[in-house]
Copies of this chain bind each other. A is one copy, B any other.
């Protein structure tokens, strides 16, 4: 299938074409990269502006169950929902934990949904670009909501927050002492905290936890991109499918307010700039991994380790001789 045909099928909303295009942007082969760039350029400005929702939470908090229930609720409202995963562990383990279709069987079978597991064996840097390109492809394919799932590891949460319009943090019910476990930085990125498992024996604990988080959120300084009352904490039960409509209402209210105030567009512009600068830095630093710089750097590092040369003198020499500064 050539790029023109692929782009037409994506614009027609064909899920198989979308999957194929994501495989293309995930490829590291040089010819695939060229094709992917051409495809993305062709699709640029087409399709719809989806609501990009980032979702993080530690393992065991019920992310898959939540996404399944939440996603099915959205498709039930007639929306098209894509689920992408950013899995920092897959780079090491080679396997994917997130976006596992067998853990979201109902959503995986839903014709209004598209689930894409995280690609394996990739660097977090590469993952960022590929995920952003996959989001663009989902928008071109006419999806209304793109959920980007990750786990509670600092770097990947920041990454997902930097490509989302809204950022949700899924939390487990916990004793008051454990609240400290949520890092302040993550708390500050979140727009809505969802305390899951507000069902059965844990319901009371979940409500207390939610109140505790709400109290903690009130201590944070109000952000200019938030209306009154945000960020906020809510309880949900993914298993009993309780609180999902309320959570969706809050997400819509926040998104609408940000759209009306211009924050929505401003945030996307700032994110695009962030990624541009990140890609430049990454491309520049990649030179250190290529010959002849790599070999020269190894040799100089040896002299530095032996104490024959100071770190500063060696760095100056490398820059002068190999990196034209």
A288 contact set on B, CB distance < 8 A: 280-281, 284
Residues of B within 8 A of A300 (CB): 276
As a 0/1 sequence over residues 163 to 180 of chain A, the CB contacts with chain B under 8 angstroms (1 = contact) are: 000000000000001001
| Pairwise interchain contact B283-A284, C-beta atoms closer than 8 A | no
Q: Which of A284, A300, A314 has the most CB of B within 10 A?
A: A284
Q: Is the CB–CB distance between B272 and A311 below 8 Å?
A: yes
Within 8 A of B (CB), among A99-130: 129
Residues on the B chain within 8 Å of A136, using CB: 310
Return A212 CB to nearest CB of chain B, in Å: 14
* Cα A144 to Cα B70 with chains together (Å): 63
Q: Beyond A288-B281, A288-B284, A318-B280, is A272–B40 a contact (Cβ under 8 Å)?
A: no
Q: For chain A, what secondary structure do more than half of its interface residues adopt (helix, strand, loop), or is it mixed?
A: helix
In the bound assembly, the distance between CA atoms of A307 and B44 in angstroms comes to 9
User: Which range contains the number of A residues in contact with the other chain?
Assistant: 35 or more
Minimum C-beta distance from A184 to chain B (A): 11
The distance in angstroms between the C-alpha atoms of A170 and B259, with both chains bound, is 48
Interface check A301, CB cutoff 8 A: yes
Q: What is the bound-complex CA distance between A25 and B256, given in angstroms? A: 54
- The interface residues of chain B lying within 8 Å CB-to-CB of A324 are 324
In Å, the complex CA distance between A96 and B147 comes to 46
Let me know if A283 and B319 touch, CB within 8 A. yes
Interface residue A93 (Cβ < 8 Å from any Cβ of B):
no
- Contact with A315, one of B280, B287, B318 (Cβ below 8 angstroms): B280
Do A270 and B305 have beta carbons less than 8 Å apart?
yes
Identity of the chain B residue whose Cβ is nearest the Cβ of A301 in the assembled complex: B273
Cβ-based interface call for A137 (8 A):
no
B319/A273 in contact, CB under 8 A: no
Q: Does A230 contact B (CB under 8 A)?
A: no
CB-CB under 8 A from A307, the residues of chain B are 45, 269, 272
A77, CB-defined interface residue at 8 Å? no
Q: Is A155 an interface position by the 8 A CB rule?
A: no
CA distance A281 to B272 in the complex (A): 23
Against B, the Cβ 8 Å flags (1 = close, 0 = not) of A60-72 are 0000000000000
In the complex, A319 Cα to B281 Cα: how many Å? 10
Contact B44 A279 (CB under 8 A): no
Looking at A45, A284, A306, A311, the one whose CB has the most chain B CB atoms below 10 A away is A311
Q: With A269-B306, A280-B315 given, can you name 11 additional A-B contacts, CB distance below 8 Å? A: A44-B310, A45-B307, A136-B310, A275-B312, A277-B297, A279-B311, A283-B315, A283-B325, A284-B288, A284-B319, A284-B325
Chain A residues within CB distance 8 Å of chain B: 37, 40-41, 44-45, 129, 132-133, 136, 177, 180-181, 269-270, 272-273, 275-281, 283-288, 297, 300-301, 304-307, 310-316, 318-319, 323-325
